Chains A and B, each alone.
Chain A
């Protein structure tokens, strides 16, 4: 009984953490390159919406996923242009984009799904990993849709690129001292453009996971702060990839607890648990969870 509950808890932890993992990994790359991509929330929401629309119109969740990426790319281009070319304040532009996307998706949702707001849309089904899913107790852990495994693969690839390639050095260096990168003959603007676009794709995947991967429907403002939470995970992870992954899992677990604790008969006000990730983030930013070492040139526009 208890073992079963734990397995369910772990399974839902991962399910809830996957969208954060996508978005946070993308955000990590941006921030290591020196750009705070505050529009992450809007990118995720657009990904969730476009994924739902694509899947509903075509009947194919794969095409929905493609639509999610295509719809988020323009946002990434706008963000890249604003921050790297026009050198606008990254926080302000990001929040502006978030508000814009919230309005756009809400309007679009009401236009398209207005009458049948409860209808499910075609989505991805959970995927029983051969062998692993049959394991006792932890078996349910491996009953995830394939996007979760894609996420894991991308995270490993990002870890490799950041640590072992010349591109990775350029990305990390662009976030620390862009002037020095330029003097070394690398193209800071190109690196930062690329990082923002990568973040856009990752946020689209994370958002689409929410709508067509997890619950097979779209609701207004359904990301509900997941993008901000992913940014918090990067901060909590002290801009290190594996610590950020850990932070996402921690936040996923804190959210999963909201549903598990009542089942266990523990009475804690739900609001406290919803607060939890943000509270942890406060502690992290306040320097109580180790020293914070943000990239030195984070959020600073680059002037050649």
Chain B
């Protein structure tokens, strides 16, 4: 069966629902995208009448699992059964006709059409009785305590309202299996309450509800059973999730225990960092002073963050994803403005500064989403290495290509970017080498004082992870202050000097980066004030 190490205590005990025929069962299911293994060896059963939560970090394979069930992707291995019969949906249409519906993370709604048209899309082709259907759907919505305005344009609705439309669109098909892919990520607290109530009610009617989330409070409130995914594999299961939150968090954030029984924290081959003693007096590299951020919907994503990073220091930011880390990264990169508070680097206030001004102040940024904001995949490695400093090669308004190539070749050697040459297309490099190239560019920022490294090792293999951290450490040893955001707690403990924990946009605690503090930090991450 599953890796024994990942099982929680309750697995051994006879759980509730044992003996019931699962509505939907997956055995040995795997999914590959090219060389990337998104899911492997997944055995999971969804029972009628249960709310089954899938827990895991971004990239753990939760969405892939949902897409397999809904027929968007076909599994590369394994079998699925629906109510005992083989189930291999050819596409969403097939899945819907078999009674499997899905509330998508990115809604399946057309903004340009009114609510009623969205609900009727994909149904009959002939003349539509919008009025009659509208009334029928309104009363269906009311059954679940939802309100619906059939005539409203979807584009005019708030995110919460859109999601209610999306839910009604599923419920009107009277599904046997209802999948909700991170439905609460976009909702306000009271909207979350009513969504969870809908989940319970649907399950109460005998459906299997599959709820993807990484919010622990929701699991406590609504989950009958929980399955934790980590890097595409099942890391733990629990039949009594409310009592085992701590263990679930550990399973979610740690690396799966290696096959030879090696301890999880020993995965990184880096020795624990010994911070060099400050020369004379610590000098601040970066300072955040009461920074808050409210998103477009008025939800407080960052709440009064005050934090400073000294030169030569590596401060880790731990936390389950979606607790404000992305927003902090975007503010430091100059892509968003703080709603309140100020921030400084190298003695200069940068609260309102543009990305160019931030770079000029000696701030290097390794952003979370490399492809979206850090690089241009279609340009060469050399061009990407100097993307924001091309002017240094200007000669009579033209780029001095030989000089650029020579300097690029030097960086490639120095930062050990494995590439055929400086002119190779950036997109053809492996993820690890792409990240080393981004680091090379950011670490060579003139007068570098502060480096933000947001999830710098996501998606990298272990060798590349070590190389990236070696570079970051060398920079810190050279006097750069580093803010390291990562969802891999073990990596933070190995690399950082101290760790601050983000929970719901606040700093809820600070600990020395010491393996002994691992459990406390994990508890802080799950919102349990230590």
Contact = CB atoms under 8 A, between A and B. Distances in A.
Given A176-B113, A185-B92, A169 B120 contact: yes
A286 to B, nearest CB: 23
A170 B121 contact: yes
Contact of B125 (A165, A176, A182): A165
A170 B110 CA distance: 11
Q: How many residues of A sit at the interface, in one of the four size bands?
A: 20 to 34
A205 B102 CA distance: 44
A177 B117 CA distance: 14
B126 A165 contact: yes
B17 interface: no
Given A176-B113, A180-B108, A165 B128 contact: yes
A265 interface: no
Nearest to B117: A169
Interface in A161-181: 164-167, 169-170, 172-173, 176-177, 179-181
Interface string A216-241: 00000000000000000000000000
Contact of B113 (A165, A172, A182, A304): A172
B109 interface: yes
Contacts of B124: 166
A89 interface: no
A232 B504 CA distance: 52
A31 to B, nearest CB: 14
B123 interface: yes
A23 B61 CA distance: 48
B127 A183 contact: no
A182 B91 contact: yes
A164 B126 CA distance: 8
Contact of A166 (B97, B111, B128): B128
Contacts of B109: 177, 180
A68 B127 CA distance: 31
A167 B92 CA distance: 18
B200 interface: no
Contacts of A177: 109-111
Contacts of A186: 93, 121-122
B125 A166 contact: yes
B107 interface: yes
A226 to B, nearest CB: 30
B9 to A, nearest CB: 39
A166 B96 CA distance: 17
Given A183-B104, A185-B93, A187-B93, A170 B122 contact: yes
A184 interface: yes
B215 to A, nearest CB: 24
A110 interface: no
B92 A182 contact: yes
B237 interface: no
| B interface, over-half SS | loop
A167 B121 CA distance: 9
B92 A184 contact: yes
Given A182-B92, A184-B169, A172 B126 contact: no
Contact of B120 (A166, A176, A187, A304): A166
A296 interface: yes
Interface in B256-277: none
B92 A176 contact: no
A177 B439 CA distance: 37
B112 interface: yes
Interface in B124-167: 124-128
Given A165-B128, A182-B92, A185-B96, A296 B122 contact: no
Contacts, number: 72
Contact of A181 (B104, B121, B123, B169): B121
Nearest to A181: B121
A296 B91 contact: no
A183 B123 contact: no
A162 B72 CA distance: 28
B108 A167 contact: no
A169 B111 CA distance: 13
A186 B169 CA distance: 14
A181 B112 contact: no
B395 to A, nearest CB: 37
B112 A296 contact: yes
Nearest to B108: A183
Interface in B66-101: 70, 72, 91-93, 96-97
Contacts of A184: 92, 108, 118, 121-122, 169
Contacts of B127: 164-165
Contacts of B107: 180
Contact of A179 (B102, B108, B113, B123): B108
A176 B93 contact: no
A112 to B, nearest CB: 42
Interface centre among A169, A173, A187 (most CB of B within 10 A): A169
A166 B113 CA distance: 12
Given A164-B128, A165-B125, A169-B121, A183 B110 contact: no
Given A183-B102, A186-B122, A169 B113 contact: yes
Nearest to B97: A185
A45 to B, nearest CB: 33
Nearest to A179: B108
Given A183-B92, A186-B93, A304-B91, A166 B126 contact: yes
Given A169-B117, A172-B113, A181 B122 contact: yes
Contacts of B96: 185
A118 B124 CA distance: 52
Contacts of A173: 110, 113, 117, 121
A180 B154 CA distance: 13
A154 to B, nearest CB: 18
Contacts of B110: 172-173, 176-177, 180-181
Nearest to A304: B91
Given A176-B110, A176-B112, A184-B169, A166 B123 contact: yes
A167 B126 contact: yes
A269 B111 CA distance: 47
Contacts of A296: 112
B497 to A, nearest CB: 45
Contacts of B97: 185
A171 to B, nearest CB: 10
Interface centre among B72, B96, B107, B112 (most CB of A within 10 A): B112
Contacts of B92: 182-185
Contacts of A179: 108
A234 to B, nearest CB: 17
22 contacts: A164-B128, A165-B125, A166-B120, A166-B121, A167-B125, A170-B125, A172-B113, A173-B117, A176-B110, A180-B107, A180-B108, A181-B122, A183-B92, A183-B102, A184-B169, A185-B97, A185-B122, A186-B93, A186-B121, A187-B93, A296-B112, A304-B91
Given A167-B126, A177-B109, 4 more contacts: A177-B110, A183-B108, A185-B96, A304-B91
9 closest cross-chain pairs (CB), A and B = A183-B108, A184-B122, A185-B122, A186-B122, A185-B93, A180-B108, A167-B125, A185-B96, A166-B125
